[in-house]
Structure formats: structure tokens, C-alpha cells
Amino acid sequence: MQADDSARREAPVPAEGAGVSFVMPVLNEVTYLERAVETVLAQDVPGPTELVLALGPSTDGTTQLAERLADKDARIRLVLNPGADIPRGLNLAISVSTLPTIVRVDAHSELSPGYTRRALETLTRVDAANVGGVMRADGRSPFQRAVARAYNSPIGLGGGAYHGGTREGEAESAYLGVMRRTVIAEVGGFDESIRRGEDWELNLRIRNAGYRVWFDPALSVTYWPRESWVRLAQQFRATGAWRGELVRRFGRRNSLRFFAPPALVGFVALSVVLAILQGAQLVTGWASLLASVFYIPIALYCIAVLAAAIGPGGGKGWRDKLWTLAVLPTMHLSWGCGFLQGALTGARDTVDTSRLNDRNTPLP
């Protein structure tokens, strides 16, 4: 529950020019890491900066690339993250960093020019402990572009503010996040028992402590989605499982939009069972007609997916549109199945295996 205005606490503001620590967990990102690092080091920030890379056990040459980058620029520091878990890597990177504002960055993303300076100004202006902006997904292949359009569309990921919001204001969470170190320390850092959704849970504790989490649409980060259908399904199943785990732990403090994918899975399952019963003539007559109302949500969903694929946002080429038809159900059903598992039995040791392969193989 978000603190009311009477309990509002202002986050401590470091001295001007005190500097910024960027922290980045890294695993099998040889294709994207160098550009991600370039956009971090190019940030115009008053005061000193450092970038701490938390290196998981990559098998694609990422660690060797990180070492070369660190040799070229003294601002880059390396810390080993042998377990490869993101929250553990973030805590390790934060623990060895030294500056009073923490900027979380992703090896699969690129910061826009002026991102950090604007975030620092916003933190001070609104007395926030954490501020984030918009994730602007992009793609290089027809498949990746289809995934990017799904990320950027309300039908894709449910319309969260950081997927295309335009109104500045208080937020439930923040994408990546520019955070005050003192507040992170006060609330205990990232919960290492949560392997996905760790940012949402951290922001919940920040808000419960009385601090403000803020969304600023002037901040944007380019994000490069998964490059293959299998990896996309792996990612979304793991993310859904951990959201289900968060529902088990925190109940209705989770937004209602998180329940849409598991509801879709439920309607699909009911429709399949009903179709089998009707085909076997076990449900007939008026009972069959009345039961057919379960097909309506599925029909409406199919229409929405088709509209998204062939509409203005569905891409220019026919391959882009076909991939959009495949990507949206893959994201929703994988996430929904994972959610049901996590909500019913817990996420347990579920990991996102889409980053564990040693090669990035884009689809044509």
C-alpha cells in the first residue's frame, strides 16, 4: 500500500556534482554489451561516474569483451556474479560502487542522450527515491521487431506506464530506475529470493517506507527483445511464474492487469474442453448453446490480435505482420501458464533460461 501524503518522506539529496554509479548485470550479451556500455559512458553527468558490471558465467565471449572494455576505461569496474541471478548481481554491483546515486542499466538496452542528467533533475524536483521512464523496444529482424511492437503496444504487456505512458506522476514501479543509495540501503537492497520482478518488489518496499517512486516520460531507454520464438517463450514463462510468486506473497498489492494472461489461459482451456465435449456429442442442445459463451472472450482476443498485426502498428512487411500474429499469443500464454504455476505452487527455482544459451541466433 502506498504511503499517504502525511507519511511522505523526502529522499536525501546528495550534494550537486556528487556523481553517479551505473550498475549492470551481464550474462551472454556479447552482441549488445559494447553498445550498452558506450551509451552509459557517454552520459553527460555532473560529477564523477563509474560503471560496475556484474559478470555472470557467460559462454559467448561476454566476459572477455567486458575485460577489454574495462582495460580501455578506468570508469568500468568488474565484479563476478557466479550464480547469474539478477538481484544478486545488482546487490554485488551496488556493494562495490561508491557514488550516492545508483542508475540501474541493462546490457540489452541503450540509454538515450541526457537520460541520467534528466533523471537526477527529476529526482530532486519531486523529492523521489526512484525515478524511471519509458522502455522503447526496438528490433533488427522481422521477429524482433514484432516482439518490440508487442512490448510497445497496450495489448502486448497490458499498458504499464513504462511501456508507453505519457503522463508524469507517481508510479507503482520504475523501469530500471535511478535511485538514491541511502534509500536502497535503508530498505535492504534487492531481495535475492526473487529472481524476476525484483524491481517491482524493491519499489513496493520503497513506497511502503514512505518514499516516492516516480515515472517521467521524458526518460527513455531503447530495449532489444529476445531474438527467437523459443527464447521469448522461456522468458515470459519465467516472468509469469515469478509474478505468480509475488501474488502469493503480496496478494492484491499486485495490479489487476497481471491477472489478464492467466484468465486468457483459463478461457483457452475451457474452450478446448468444451469443443471436445461438443464434438463427442456429450454436450448438446441448449446446454451446448449456452456453454458456447466461453468462446466469446477467445474470439474477441483473436480479433484484437489480428487488428494489432494488420493495423498501422503491425509492421510494414508481411513477415513482420505474421510474426506479430505469433508473438502476441506466445507472450500472453507463456506468461499466463507461468503465472498459474507460480501462484499455485510457487516459482521455487524457476529461472529465465533464455539468456543461458551460448549463441544468439536471430530469426530471419
Q: What is the pLDDT of residues 259-288, one digit of tens each?
A: 999 999 999 999 999 999 999 989 888 888
Q: Would you state the cell numbers that stand for residue 283, as one nine-digit string?
A: 454436450
Between the two ends of the chain, the Cα-to-Cα distance in Å is: 45
3-state secondary structure of 326: helix
> d(Cα 238, Cα 197) in Å, to the nearest integer?
10
Q: Classify each residue of 324-350 as buried b or exposed e, where b means 16 or more C-beta atoms within 10 Å of its C-beta.
A: bbbbbebbbbbbbbbbbbbbeeebeeb
Segment 150-192, tens digit of pLDDT = 888 878 776 555 556 678 999 999 999 999 999 999 999 999 9
What is the model's pLDDT at position 84? 87
3-state secondary structure of 179: strand
Segment 72-94, tens digit of pLDDT = 999 999 999 998 899 999 999 99
Q: Name the residue among 130, 103, 1, 125 with its Cα closest to residue 45.
A: 103
What share of the chain has pLDDT > 70, as a percent?
Answer: 93
> d(Cα 333, Cα 233) in Å, to the nearest integer?
9
What is the model's pLDDT at position 364? 36
Segment 113-140, tens digit of pLDDT = 999 999 999 999 999 999 999 999 999 8
Contacts 24+ apart (CB under 8 A), 231-235: 231/354, 231/357, 232/147, 232/327, 232/330, 232/331, 232/334, 232/354, 233/330, 233/334, 234/334, 234/352, 234/353, 234/354, 235/334, 235/352, 235/354
> d(Cα 92, Cα 84) in Å, to the nearest integer?
11
Distance of CA 209 to the CA centre of its chain: 23
Decide if pLDDT at 48 tops 50.
yes
Decide if pLDDT at 363 tops 50.
no
Mean pLDDT score, 291-311: 90
Q: How confident is the model at residue 256 (pLDDT cuts 50, 70, 90)?
A: confident
What is the model's pLDDT at position 156? 79
Distance of CA 277 to the CA centre of its chain: 40
What is the model's pLDDT at position 316? 67
Q: Give me the chain's average pLDDT, please.
A: 89
Decide if pLDDT at 317 tops 90.
no
Segment 205-255, tens digit of pLDDT = 999 999 999 999 999 999 999 989 999 999 999 999 999 999 999 987 777
Question: 17-225 has which fold?
Answer: Spore Coat Polysaccharide Biosynthesis Protein SpsA; Chain A (3.90.550)
What is the model's pLDDT at position 214? 96
Q: Considering only residues 197 and 156, tell me which one the structure prediction assigns the higher pLDDT.
A: 197
pTM of structure: 0.88
What is the model's pLDDT at position 227? 87
Nearest 5°: phi and psi at 361? -120, 90
Any bridge partners for residue 20, and if so which?
49, 101
What is the model's pLDDT at position 253? 74
Domains of the chain by residue range: 17-225, 249-355
> d(Cα 195, Cα 204) in Å, to the nearest integer?
16
What is the model's pLDDT at position 161? 56
> d(Cα 298, Cα 265) in Å, to the nearest integer?
10
Mean pLDDT score, 19-41: 96
